[in-house]
Chains A and B, each alone.
Chain A
Amino acid sequence: EVQLVQSGAEVKKPGESLRISCKGSGYSFTGYWITWVRQMPGKGLEWMGRIDPDDSYTNYSPSFQGHVTMSADKSISTAYLQWSTLKASDTAMYYCARHGPIGTSSNYLDYWGQGALVTVSS
């Protein structure tokens, strides 16, 4: 069974750093992109970027480029989303999702993590 399990909720202060994780199981982790999606409170889905877990190649949305860093450790089938300096506006639910097979034109997100709520408040 394909599963993506994300780390738990976080409460941070502005200016702090944070890394959240997404562990894949039940499939070849290096065969599929991992995409990160933001959902701010009461708002819609926003595509942040994706990472190839095999070589850590990334595509960032222009809206998120420079604000977050995506990484992966294929030895433990885990992808990460990281902030060096959090802002209150980073408060949101963050989802990881499996993107269609690497090397194909598939762009759908077929399996999703349960989400990680990040709250940034002084």
Chain B
Amino acid sequence: QSVLTQPPSVSAAPGQKVTISCSGSSSNIGNNYVSWYQQLPGTAPKLLIYENNKRPSGIPDRFSGSKSGTSATLAITGLQTGDEADYYCGTWDSSLSAGVFGGGTDLTVL
């Protein structure tokens, strides 16, 4: 049981937009930055979004992040088949004094 809650799977057609939610509490998302990671099959995770809504160099602006209260959202526009991957949210939990991840969301581009 993960500390952060994500939907197990989402799907959308190529070119469409999809959003992935990440729900937590005041001890984690509510008072700490959220980051998002993409894990393509058979590869190591890659940082997509940091500090709620910032993109590392090289990440296209089709990927965006937002945070409100104890929830965060990753949005992906202009979906491509290459976006099929598992997506994870992560943050710090001040009560646990440890990092935490969501359970991951499997994105299918139909």
Residues of chain A at the chain B interface (Cβ within 8 Å): 35, 37, 44-47, 49-50, 59-62, 95, 97, 99-100, 105-115
Q: Which residues from A are CB-within-8-Å of B46?
A: 112
Assess whether A46 is in contact with B101, with CB atoms less than 8 Å apart: yes
Q: In the bound complex, what is the Cα–Cα distance between A111 and B35 (angstroms)?
A: 13
Chain A binding surface, main DSSP class: strand
Assess whether B99 is in contact with A62, with CB atoms less than 8 Å apart: no
Provide the B76-104 mask, 1 if CB < 8 A to any CB of A, else 0.
Answer: 00000000001010111000111111111
Assess whether B33 is in contact with A60, with CB atoms less than 8 Å apart: no
Assess whether A45 is in contact with B33, with CB atoms less than 8 Å apart: no
Q: Does B70 interact with chain A (Cβ within 8 Å)?
A: no
Q: In the bound complex, what is the Cα–Cα distance between A61 and B93 (angstroms)?
A: 10
Interface centre among B32, B45, B96 (most CB of A within 10 A): B45
